[in-house]
Structure 1
Amino acid sequence: MTATVQTQSNEASAGGQTPLVELRNVGKSYGHIHALKDISLRVHAGQVTGILGDNGAGKSTLIKIIAGLHQQTEGELLVDGEPTKFSSPADALGKGIATVYQNLAVVPLMPVWRNFFLGQEVRKKSFPYSLDANAMRATTLAELAKMGIELPDVDAPIGSLSGGQRQCVAIARAVFFGARVLILDEPTAALGVKQSGVVLKYITAAKEAGFGVVFITHNPHHAHMVGDHFVLLNRGRQKLDCTYDEISLEHLTQQMAGGDELEALSHELGRK
């Protein structure tokens, strides 16, 4: 079965709402190298958009464009329906787009609460204007509780937490600092089944709270469990664009594995 890119709007499935973020025929070139070509997708509030692809598919380049690290060389990036160009990640953050990278950018030996406020520390309002540790501890506990994350001790080094717990802390941090769109870069890639389940649970919680979630993954099972809309990249091109109701896990897995190519290879090997 040959997968084709579906270019029709998914506005109806999102209740006619304007997407929080939209890409229209976006491309990115480095000289004569085309890392991305003709990528179109929409990120709606209260939905998870799964971006799937193998290594070298273009997922990292796509992240960097939405996160403000790179500018596209072709096409349009729209935020709340308005054409936008980000000159830095700070611009994207200012529009409510936060990226949680796979390495999380945490300081392992620092307490959870220090990492939660890393780079955005709260200081006391009176001299000597030192860090308000008590306020930051209380806020960290409260924000984690909102996400259903229960940690016995926010003074523990964040490096002592499981991978799933660290991912959830990073998600809660992004939400607290004003994110409306969460870009999650392979959050389950290095996790076991149980810890992956923890992260998927909080992705669903973020969706139900009204956030737009971009879930970057190479695992079709994880994507299908929480996703509402799927985009499959292959060598910088958009191979598939469909909603949850339009594709089964079996078909998504087949396309992720290169179904047509594998079938052709199987026939070729069978003839030898």
Structure 2
Amino acid sequence: MVAVTGEPVLALRGVSKRFGAVQALTDIELEVHSGSVVALVGDNGAGKSTLVKAIAGVHQPDEGTIEWDGRPVTIHRPQDAQHLGIATVYQDLALCDNLDVVGNLFLGRELKRFSVLDEVGMEKRSRELLDTLSIRIPSVRIPIASLSGGQRQVVAIARALIGRPKVVMLDEPTAALGVEQTAQVLDLVERLRDQGLGVILISHNMADVMAVADTVAVLRLGRNNGVFAKSDTNQEEIISAITGATDNAVTRRQARGTEGTS
């Protein structure tokens, strides 16, 4: 794990966003450092998706500042985020089942040699990228449709790395995956951190969050409701911040267990 020191690569300072009469985000503060995983958690409607889309250039904040390497930037559209070095992998993955792994990795970013598609170059780069990330795929020429859910997820993450970003946002990357496939994706998240990238992990799965996050940022009703160092917190404290209550089903079960042992 890379030590979190110095200036954050990405920071949100007082970011707010409205949709008509609905206040989706209010005075959001968030910092992402190189070589660290920030888990963004919150209940449905907490503002996670809006926040991700504000960083990704889909929505523009009404107030506040987004900083990149310590300087204010304006992200008007997704291309602006990509040019800065921000990559986003959405839950739907947007993979093309009729294309192979190489075709998906370079979709829209095809390599050309003398005005002709450089199939050899793209295949070589695909193998190198997957090897670097220790991603196990039977062949880079296998159709995406024949891959498992976990393999599809790691291919989508690998595609986001083609542009050599500095920050990667992953929206519910383990949703609907089995235990083994989830482990494969979480291993990849750790490798991204080890390679010095900043990772924003959006997840409802507390086990996944506690497994890989360095920092947990809680949103509640569009506002910050706590930023916790994983080493100094526990699952119950985070759930309490998410729900806005210290008394919940998890803490009650824990209390009953303590009473039974005393």
TM-score (norm 1): 0.87
Checking the alignment, whether the CA contact within 8 Å between 2:220 and 2:243 is kept in structure 1 is no
Taking a change above 3 Å as real, the CA distance of residues 159 and 212 of structure 1, as seen in their structure-2 partners, is same
SS in 2 for 1:164: helix
Checking the alignment, whether the CA contact within 8 Å between 1:221 and 1:253 is kept in structure 2 is no
Larger deviation, residues 250-259 vs 93-102: 250-259
Amino acid at match of 2:132: K
Cα separation, 2, equivalents of 1:198 and 1:47: 18
Give 1:210's aligned residue: 196
Shift of 1:63: 0.5
Trace 1:1-272 onto structure 2 (pairs within 5 A): 15-125=4-114, 129-260=115-246, 262=248
Larger deviation, residues 59-68 vs 163-172: 163-172
Q: Render the CA deviation track for 1:172-204: whole Å, top value 9, x for unaligned.
A: 222231211000011011211111111000000
User: Aligned residues, how many?
Assistant: 249
Checking the alignment, whether the CA contact within 8 Å between 1:37 and 1:237 is kept in structure 2 is yes
Cα separation, 2, equivalents of 1:146 and 1:17: 27
Shift of 1:258: 5.0
Q: Render the CA deviation track for 1:95-143: whole Å, top value 9, x for unaligned.
A: 1000011111111121110000000111222xxx332212211111111
Aligned sequence identity (%): 42
Cα separation, 2, equivalents of 1:254 and 1:260: 5
Give 1:270's aligned residue: none
Cα separation, 2, equivalents of 1:189 and 1:236: 22
**Unaligned stretches of 5+ residues in structure 2:** 253-262
SS in 1 for 2:13: strand
SS in 1 for 2:14: strand
Larger deviation, residues 52-61 vs 251-260: 251-260
**Unaligned stretches of 5+ residues in structure 1:** 1-12, 267-272
Checking the alignment, whether the CA contact within 8 Å between 2:105 and 2:162 is kept in structure 1 is no
Shift of 1:88: 0.8
